[in-house]
Amino acid sequence: MANVVAIVGRPNVGKSTLFNRLVEKRKAIMDDESGVTRDRHYGYAEWIGKFFTVIDTGGYVTGSEDKFEAQIRTQVELALDEATVILFMVDSHAGLTDLDKDFAKVIRTSKKPVFLVANKADTTERIHMAMEFYELGMGEVFPISSATGTGTGELLDQVVKHLEDGDKITDEGIPKIAILGRPNVGKSSFLNALLGKERTIVTDEAGTTRDSINTHYKLYGKDFILTDTAGIRKKSRVKEDIEFYSVLRSIQALQDSDVCIFLIDAERGLEAQDMSIIGLAHKYNKGMMIMINKWDLIEKETNTAEKIKKELVAKLGTLNYLPIIFTSVLKKQRIFQAIEKANEIYENRIRKIPTSKLNEVLLPEIENYPPPAIKGKYIKIKYITQLPIHTPTFAFFCNLPQYIKAPYERFLENKIRKHFDFEGVPIRLFFRKK
């Protein structure tokens, strides 16, 4: 089970404002550095040690007003199926509207925990006004102000009770690999090719839901669990739904995995949605690789692969540590290498470097290129150790940890990557006073 919190509600109640408040603190690295995915509708959030993904479902409602009824149904139903917790947002300034009641009708059918959130309760008077929403008969009303943050702490305290603790290990020792990518990139074909048989992905019955399928798989005597998010389009009726649904499924699968294989259509290249999902996987410290599929469709000249790789690495910005593999699932080209690579990444992710080795290698690098002095103060890094947790995390002990800036952090990360193989895995660095 994954931790996904979906915000639903009619337009203008403040969904995206709350969304921004919840995820802004931990802005995606990519947002800052390569200028992509400005209008993402899902992001990573944390509250008292619980990690979760927030989805602003409003971001997916794109059609015109007259189609709105139908959109409430499809989008909200999808959110209800897929999310762990639902925040049903209303506007305490505007009061209860017919549209709110329509939403409530659909939402009431959910068996998931639903929190009725009365937004724009900026003042005491508005908080009183929010009590009107008890009329919906949906239990406790949480008056909040997304604009100022009032009440959001109380709300989150309750919400996270329904979420899982982060950083748990699943099926210890067996790599859990999620196959991710936009509809039609070749995910099911990839699985079928690996498994050597046609598998029925989803029943054709209208409205059938199925969870991401976990398949145990053996290759050269090694066990894997492959999670596939394919077959989504069967359930969905319109294009926006497919997008929305596939995003939700991807988020769940990635939260649950050790390594994510991102399939990309060679003809379409890396798209904004791919970048957001990759960014999310980075936040969750997942192992990652890119598989450029349908390589058979690309007309090749000398160095085509190198050129494409270069462009991709540029687009990835600081996430340029992801290995890239060119495949044709159709022609069965390099599909086993892809799985082997995923296994290497898994190994990289759990690798622990002995403290003595780390210091022996990194201290000379630091001596050669020490952190720049700030306000006349010299920063001295004394020693480094890898923390005994699941994903590669390093603590640097120094006299003035607050003076280490992002560029120097990046320098250190690059040195760690240069000397120790952490291909495909995010690395976290902490600076502590000593």
Task: Assign 225 to helix, strand or coil.
Answer: strand
Site stretch for ligand GDP (CB under 6 A), options 15-23, 349-357, 381-389, 400-408: 15-23
Nearer to ligand GDP, 264 or 404 (CB): 264
> Is 123 near ligand GDP (CB under 6 A)?
no
Q: Is 188 among the annotated ligand-binding positions?
A: yes
* 345-364 residues near ligand GDP, rule: CB under 6 A: none
Nearer to ligand GDP, 249 or 294 (CB): 294
User: Beta-carbon neighbour count of residue 251 at 10 Å?
Assistant: 27
> Is 99 near ligand GDP (CB under 6 A)?
no
Nearer to ligand GDP, 42 or 51 (CB): 42
> Is 71 near ligand GDP (CB under 6 A)?
no
Least separation, in Å, of the C-beta of 39 and ligand GDP? 12
β-strand pairing of 213-219 with 222-228: antiparallel
User: Beta-carbon neighbour count of residue 218 at 10 Å?
Assistant: 8
Query: Is the Cα dihedral 240, 243, 245, 247 positive or negative?
Result: negative
Per-residue DSSP letter, 333 = B
User: Beta-carbon neighbour count of residue 227 at 10 Å?
Assistant: 22
Buried b (16+ CB within 10 A) or exposed e, 342-353: bbbbbebbeeeb
Q: Is 296 among the annotated ligand-binding positions?
A: yes
Q: Where are the beta strands (DSSP E) in 278-392?
A: 287-293, 324-326, 381-386
> Is 145 near ligand GDP (CB under 6 A)?
yes
Instruction: State the DSSP H helix or E strand holding residue 259, giving kind and residue range, or none if neither.
Output: strand 259-265
Least separation, in Å, of the C-beta of 394 and ligand GDP? 36
Cα 105 from chain centre: 30
Q: Compose the 169-208 pattern: x for residues touching ligand GDP by CB under 6 A, - for all others.
A: ------------x-xxxxxxx-------------------
Q: Is 238 among the annotated ligand-binding positions?
A: no
> Is 328 near ligand GDP (CB under 6 A)?
yes
Residues in the chain: 434
Query: Is the Cα dihedral 236, 241, 247, 248 positive or negative?
Result: negative
By CB under 6 A, how many residues form the interface with ligand GDP? 30
Q: Where are the beta strands (DSSP E) in 387-427?
A: 393-398
> Is 58 near ligand GDP (CB under 6 A)?
yes
Q: How many whole angstroms separate alpha carbon 126 and alpha carbon 91?
A: 10
> Is 95 near ligand GDP (CB under 6 A)?
no
Binding site for ligand GDP (CB under 6 A): 11-17, 58, 119-120, 122, 145-147, 181, 183-189, 230, 293-294, 296-297, 328-330
Q: Where is the binding site for GTP, in residues?
A: 9-16, 56-60, 119-122, 181-188, 228-232, 293-296
Q: Where is the binding site, in residues?
A: 9-16, 56-60, 119-122, 181-188, 228-232, 293-296
